[in-house]
Amino acid sequence: MYIKKYPVSLLIIATVIYLSFFRPPQTELSEIPNLDKLVHFCMYFGLSGMLWLEFLRAHRRDSTPIWHAWAGGCCCPILFSGCIELLQAYCTDYRGGDWMDFAANTAGALLASLTAYYIVRPRMKRKQG
């Protein structure tokens, strides 16, 4: 059921897991300050945004409460990112859990959720009605 309703979101989740645990090569990009925070923000903005889009698309004709979207599109990505950071800290020797990474993940999920709720959702309702 989830594969049918959320295919792109599941692909993004798999990609985030891969990107969170592979050993990145050293490049000149590593020298740019806080580039990794921007990457974290973008990963979770994309994950949360896609969860919202697929939720709104999959449930546009039924009466599923909007708090389900907030739980699945905002809270779950934030909790997921916290788990990933803890796993990086305690289960790898080449990655460390970083509170600023978690903050960037949270900011990405929150901004995507606010954008989806206040901008995308009203536009989808207008097109539907």
Dump pLDDT digits (tens) for 102-124.
999 999 999 999 999 999 999 99
Higher pLDDT, 7 or 60: 7
- Which tokens is 17 given? 């897991």
Q: The dihedral of CA 11, 98, 84, 59: what is its sign?
A: negative
Mean pLDDT across the stretch 78-83? 98
Q: Is residue 9 part of a domain?
A: no
- Which tokens is 124 given? 């989808």
Q: Is residue 71 part of a domain?
A: yes
How many domains is the chain partitioned into structurally?
A: 1
User: 129 falls in which pLDDT band (50, 70, 90)?
Assistant: low
pLDDT, residue 101, reads 96
Helix residue ranges per DSSP H, 6-117? 7-21, 35-58, 66-70, 76-91, 99-115
Q: Is residue 109 part of a domain?
A: yes
Q: Which of 29, 30, 112 lies closest to 72 in space, CA to CA?
A: 112
* 8, pLDDT greater than 90: yes
Q: Is residue 13 part of a domain?
A: no
Please check whether residue 56 is in contact with residue 116, taking contact to mean a CB–CB distance below 8 angstroms.
yes
Query: Within 10 A of 42 (CB to CB), how many other CB atoms are there?
Result: 12
- List pLDDT tens digits, range 9-60: 999 999 999 999 998 888 888 788 999 999 999 999 999 999 999 999 999 8
- Phi and psi, residue 82, nearest 5°: -65, -40
Q: Is residue 22 part of a domain?
A: no
Q: Is residue 101 part of a domain?
A: yes
Mean pLDDT across the stretch 4-13? 95
Domain that holds residue 81: 46-124
pLDDT, residue 110, reads 98
